Structure 1
């Protein structure tokens, strides 16, 4: 039987994950504590509207899709203390600040300054980008790629299939899902429809996850080292590069844990 093998949330949009043994799922279908902060461009500090929901397009803020070098940074966020710490393995501490108004400005300036020393520096020169702004209350999950939020899931076997076809090392981190499951066949999760149960929670399976250029980035070096978008369509005959599925809870919020059984319904 498929089981949950790993759980992740991403406190800061586009930055490193936090591995957990349990995830709290809110009734609105988002992972609690996931993407609660984001570095946004100067002209994108208020949300767009998408079907009556707030939407924060990743193209108008820092994300791995465009800023590959962000993968070099290691991020920790203490929600209780409202403290954000970001470290670069090469340069050392980039910032360590509390999220008051002054701390947010310091954080945005520090990340902007760090990016000027990377290969992504040219992207900062586009109109409307600088100065960066760190927004979000540190509690409310709202900076997912899609306005509805969703919980993301993929099978480890699907990633292993990609790794076998790729010229470089590939692991689950490239795909930035909330839930990784084991004991499935490669691509099995894409064949599921309707709903599934994870532990004591039931989820509707909404649709497959279309992938972006973030998956081409090495999660250790911040270098684009794998043409995975083309690999997915050519090697696996996909119409669009796809890996994993999006979920919404059927009966309100709850908790899922590593080791939970996963049962298609």
Structure 2
């Protein structure tokens, strides 16, 4: 039987994941604690800017897509303190601070100094990007790539199949971390989750009944090595050539059955729940 093998949330939009033993899917279809913070460019703010909730494009701040060396930083957030550890320095703490004004400034200054000392410096020096600002309340899941939010899922089998397909063009490692999903499962044939998206399949994952909404079309973030940040393989091209996809896709976006988005009217009864590592995945 298919089962959940990994769960991840992304406290800071565009940065590395925090591995979890369980995730809470909210009635609005977003993961509690996921994308609750973001590091915004100076010129991305405006008086009417809500800082997310409906939609927050990657172009507004730091993200792996444009700053691949962010992969070298491991992020943890306990609800009060945000910590960045440097993988290239034996996981030494780069910065650890709270979300008060002084802590936010300390975090942004540390990130700025590190990026300016590395190969992504030129991107950060572009006009209007500095000073960086840490935005978000640390509670509300609001910095989404898409207005509707969604929970993301992929299978280990699809990642393994992509790794086999890429072996003819590169020896770069291909693992789950490149694809930044909330839920990783095993026990299904490769690419099954893309079929679920086409059919709008209903699934039960842990305590949560969900429906498949659409495939996840991938961006440049998947080309970066999840440890070093080096762009070491063009997996987008592998997906469209070796695998033969029209668009480079891996994984599926999900919503709880009958979920309502922020501000929508309707009953949220039974649409959320908890998913745990080891939970079964059943097709309804």
Same fold (TM over 0.5): yes
Q: Matched residues in 1 for 2:159 and 2:193: separation?
A: 12
Equivalent residues, number: 261
State the partner residue of 1:70. 70
Q: Matched residues in 2 for 1:141 and 1:78: separation?
A: 15
State the partner residue of 1:156. 156
Contact 2:165 2:243 in 1 (8 A): no
Q: Say which of 235, 253, 276 aligns to 1:257.
A: 276
Could you tell me how far 1:45 is from its partner in structure 2? Answer: 3.5
Superposition misfits of 4+ residues, deviation over 6 angstroms: none
Q: Matched residues in 2 for 1:208 and 1:89: separation?
A: 31
Could you tell me how far 1:113 is from its partner in structure 2? Answer: 1.0
Q: Label 1:185 to 1:203 Cα distance change in 2 as closer, same or farther (>3 A).
A: same
Identify which range, 160-169 or 176-185, moves more after superposition.
160-169
State the partner residue of 1:85. 83
State the partner residue of 2:266. none
Q: CA RMSD in A?
A: 1.6
Unaligned runs of 5+ in 2: 258-269
Determine helix, strand or coil for the equivalent of 2:103.
Answer: helix
Determine helix, strand or coil for the equivalent of 2:54.
Answer: strand
State the partner residue of 1:117. 117
TM-score by length of 1: 0.94
TM-score by length of 2: 0.88
Unaligned runs of 5+ in 1: none
Q: Say which of 187, 190, 200 aligns to 2:194.
A: 190
1:172-210 Cα deviation digits (max 9, x unpaired): 000000000100111011111222111232112110001
Q: Say which of 151, 169, 193 aligns to 2:173.
A: 169
Contact 1:72 1:89 in 2 (8 A): yes
Determine helix, strand or coil for the equivalent of 1:55.
Answer: coil
Q: Matched residues in 1 for 2:35 and 2:45: separation?
A: 15
1:213 is aligned to 2:220: yes
Q: Matched residues in 1 for 2:164 and 2:6: separation?
A: 21
Q: Matched residues in 2 for 1:53 and 1:16: separation?
A: 20
1:194-227 Cα deviation digits (max 9, x unpaired): 2211123211211000100000010111111010
State the partner residue of 1:228. 235
